[in-house]
Structure formats: structure tokens, C-alpha cells
Structure 1
Amino acid sequence: MPAGHSNQEAHHAALEDPRSRFYSAKFPQQEQDQPATTDEMTPAPDHGETTYRGTGRLDGHAALITGGDSGIGRAVAIAYAREGADVAIIFTPEEKDDAEATRRAVVDAGRTCLLLEGDVRDEEFCARSVEETRNTLGKLTILVLNAGYQKDREGIDSLETAEFQRVFETNIYSMFWIARAAVPHMPPGSSIISTTSIQAFNPSPNLIDYAMTKSAQVGFTKALAQELGPKGIRVNAVAPGPIWTPLIPGTEWDLTEFGADTPLGRAGQPAELASAYVFLAENNASYISGAIVPVTGGKGL
């Protein structure tokens, strides 16, 4: 048998159907209070614990990830560690068990993991987290602004100001506070990556306040990319579609159809986001800044 034919067969054997590569059945109905936790989710999310393989693409980097305890943040922390970066993660006290699980995965990859417990709605905590990251890891070259809060709304007439403020303080104020503290200490070649959402472009009425913050994050990304480009710092964002994270059972809606309206017919898993964050942070993406990268299962922005 010709060698080329054998290689071609091996190539085809490696193909995986994206419709069924990860969980594609209906999600069982479940509900949690915010902040929700990973261990109460059915099925358990896939953060790439057994599948992500690193190749040293982020050797020498040090990353700070807000909301790094679970969901997309955990998947990014695992990928970054396996690519050679040390990692600091911000989490709330209620998420400590999740944070410890993420720390174990980072340490198992041979990297340092700093746990920063607190509330990103606290301006002083945000600034202190940047300082502690720099002091412990020795530098800060990647900033992932990923922390988020959402809740299903019955209508604008019943949306309380306190809840509206909570969404904006978590999703927007914290980004500003942390970036403001971090930027003066980030050298050329550094990268800032935000987690926005398909909701910024295709908003759902029951997530009106969340969608507003995600649109603001797009503006933040594009404006900051223009400011920091001359300093050699790139700023980009990832816009996920329906992804199976603790935010979802912590939000009141029908989970049985979650993700079914995508062209791929299913919700995404956190592991499917990680490579986008790795790519945007690595040197091979050196000419990409001000971009919004969709990871939506085919749903358009």
C-alpha cells in the first residue's frame, strides 16, 4: 500500500464530527442560585481536563483570569498552564471549591497558580489583585477579563436598580478597574482578552441588562486596542454563543432546548473556547488587535 494512502487514511480517522464531539443530548432541567457551582451541574462541563494538549505556546507568560474558577475561565486556565504560563485566578468565596479544582489542574501541569478570593465589584480588591499577581508571578503579560453575571428578566418594568447595578459592576466596572491597574505594568507583547457574548450582537429581551454590558465590552475592546496598540499591547475579545457553564443553571430558563438552535445543533463546552484564548495571547496572533472572535456553533453575530 502506498505511504500516501496510509497517511490519508490516518488523517480521515482523526476527523471528528463537531455536531457530536461533545455532549449533544438535551440538558436535564436544573436550577442553582448565583454564583452557581460546577459540582451541581448535570452533565459536568468539559474544561479540557483530559483532552487539551499544550505545546509551549505561552512559555514565559503570566496570566490573570477573572472568573477563573469555573466554566470558560477554568478551561482557559488549564490551557494556559499546559501551554507554559503561570496563572492567577479571581473567584468569589462561594466558588472556593471550584477555584481549588482549577488550581490543582494548573499545578498538575507544572505551573504556579495564585488564588485571589474576593468580589470584582470592589474597586480596591481589583487593584490589589493585579498587584498580588505581579508580586507572586513576577510579571503580568496576559489579562483575561472573563467574570460575568446574568439573570433572566421578566421585563424592564420589574428590573430592580440593585440588580441592574450588580450586572454592570460585575461585567463592566471590574473590567475597567482591573485593566486600569494592569496596563501600566504590562510590557510590549502583552495581551488583554475580554469575554463578551453573542448577546452583544443578537440580544435576548430576557437578558437586556446582560446584553447591554456585553455590547459595552465590545466598545471597550475596540477603543482600548487603539489606545494600547502604540504601546505594543494587543486587545481582543471572544464572543461565545451558548456554552455549558455554571452561569446557565444559575439563570432561569428552559435548559432542555439550550443550544439546540445553533447550526451545530448543540451547546458548546468550555473546552471549545480555550484554543481561541490561547491563540489571541500567543505571538502568532501578533497582528490581531481590536478583533471580536465568535465561538458560537455557527450562530451569526
Structure 2
Amino acid sequence: MKDAAGNALAADRTWTFTTAAAQPVQSPIAAKAESLNGALGAATTPEVYGLKDNGGYQCFERGCIMYSPASGAHVTLGAIRAKWATTGFENGPLGYPVTDEIGGLKDGGVFQNYQGGAIIFSPATGANITMGPIREKWASTGFENGALGYPVSDVVGGLRDGGAFQNYQRGAIIYSPATGAHISIGAIREKWASTGYENGRLGYPVTDEIGGLKDGGVFQNYERGAIIYSPATGAHISIGAIRDRWAATGFENGRLGYPVTDDIGGLKNGGVFQNYQAAPSFGLLRPGPRFP
């Protein structure tokens, strides 16, 4: 045998080629578990499949890994997992997790996102579900860093006309399909509560609070009227024919100023009045029906 240059080789040589054995394909659950370097502890179940949307799971000493082709493989554990369990796991309204838990929030908070919303936890408030239009409104305030703070309840439905609400550390968000989601806080919320919330004569809020009024005033509009507040006069209801008349004077910027009472009924022939800042016992009167 000769080499490429035509020189004779000292001896014939034989080359043997080998192919590496095919490596088994690692499942997404196994790959996720390996990436955690044992943080979940030893496996307590095998990988189990047959869940909704071709999903599967495997549980470990300190939590589980959930997987579906659409959402990927994510860790679920602790108080957030316990709350998710109450919804029916992947079969409930939240669906599969789409992130692991994410910490570093204010006051030790943690959250996890799901296909249909999120669960957020803090040591002071526990784990609560946040989803839909109410979550979107909360997001617009800055989530837990905003004026409302953390949720202290889940979204609670069953209100009139398909309404729902969620309570927070410093107020609430209330929603109905007809009026959308609006923030309810502070002195104006307390006054609205005294009317019976959405079941009272004002109905649902149709705006958030709107500030920037004279002397630090704030107002919020409702389906059938408004509540107006200033530090000097407190929160008072403004509704109906008396509100229309007050509007004609320029609201709080007119000669009457802010209301200092709600509208007060019980007058002869069904009459009602409301007092304003302009002078003691000076207000607007809605006459009752006239009789011959």
C-alpha cells in the first residue's frame, strides 16, 4: 500500500470507526428537575401523564413540576400551590402555570403566573387569585406597589348584574359588565358603603376617583349620581334634581361651594333639600308634588 505521494507504507494499517450510542431523550419534566440541582428533594412519584391538553406532572419532597406542551414545565409549591389546588389545578380557571414562582416583591411577596391569571402571596395577606378585568385595573395602579397594596381576598362574584369585586389592603376594585372595573377607596368608599354599595341608590361606580378639585376635593361618579369629598366638608352624595341644579351653578366652583350634607328628605309633599358651604342652612330644595 502506498501513501498519497506514492511512497510505500511500512505496513498496512486498518482504521475502525465507532458510532456513539444514542442518548435517551430527556423529558421536559426531567430537564426542569435537573436544572434545580435537587432543590425540590427526592422524587415521590414517577412522571404522570394524561392530564388536560397532554399535560403531566411529577412530585418531589418539596413541591411538584407541572408540564404541558403549551405552558412548559414549571415548579409549583407552598402556599401558592395550595391556593391553586383550591381552584382545581390545571382544570380550573387559572389553567397551567406559565412561570415558576417569582419573588423579590415588597414585604416578602411572591407571585406565579398562570394561563388564566396569577396568584400573589405576601406573609401579611396570604395567597390570593388575581385575574380578568379586575387584575388589569390593579395592574394600572402599579400592582402591590400602588395605592391599593396587595389583594386580601380573591375575586368575589355573584353581585347584581354579573358584578364582582376584590378587596385590597387599602380599598377595593369593583366590576360589572356594564360599568367596567373601578377603584373604590377611602372616605368616598365609606360613604358609598353606607348606601348599600351597588345595591343602593347610586349603583356601581362608573369612574375611579377624580381629584384636582378646589381645596383638595375629589369626586367619583356612579350609575345614578356622584359622591363628592373635600377635607373641609367630608364625603356627600350628589344625586337627582338637586345635583342637576347644583351643576347649573358650577358645582363646587360656584356660589354654593361643596355640599355639607347629603340630600335630606321628609319635607312636606315629598320635598328634599341639601345644604352647601355658602351659608348655614342654605341649600337647594327639590319640591315635592303639588296638589290642588
Q: Same fold (TM over 0.5)?
A: no
- Normalising by the smaller structure, the TM-score range is under 0.3
TM-score (norm 2): 0.18
Q: Which has the higher helix share?
A: 1
Higher relative contact order (Cα pairs below 8 Å, separated by 6+ residues): 1
Q: Which has the higher strand share?
A: 2
